[in-house]
Amino acid sequence: MKVNCDQLAGLLPDFFDGDLSREQSDAAIDHLATCASCRLTVDELEGVRTLASDHGRLELPPESKERIRRSLGLS
Ligand SMILES: [Zn+2]
């Protein structure tokens, strides 16, 4: 499975919630590995989510966070 930028944007909310299938999640990570502009988008989104969870409203599942960090080369 391959996704383009538009499709990735559609997957991101579920990606952050950990609701994607394995295949969708792998496709999202594959895309992020090759697309700098989408990495930037995820970075911003993750920042927003992290900020929100600091206020106790949203919690990013540790597994998603880990996968995102790894896909972004942050860990
Ligand atoms: Zn992209």
Cβ-contact 20, 28 below 8 angstroms: yes
Listed by start position, the domains of the chain span 5-71
Indicate the pTM of the whole model: 0.63
Q: What is the pLDDT of residues 56-68, one digit of tens each?
A: 555 566 777 777 7
Per-residue pLDDT tens over the stretch 31-64: 999 999 999 988 888 776 666 666 555 556 677 7
How remote is the CA of residue 59 from the centroid of ligand 1, in Å?
25
Ligand 1 centroid–CA 51 distance in Å is 24
Q: State the DSSP string of 16-70.
A: HHT-S-HHHHHHHHHHHHH-HHHHHHHHHHHHHHHHHHHTTS----HHHHHHHHH
Task: Give the residue among 37, 29, 19 at the shortest CA–CA distance from 72.
Answer: 29
Residue 22 CA to ligand 1 center (angstroms) comes to 19
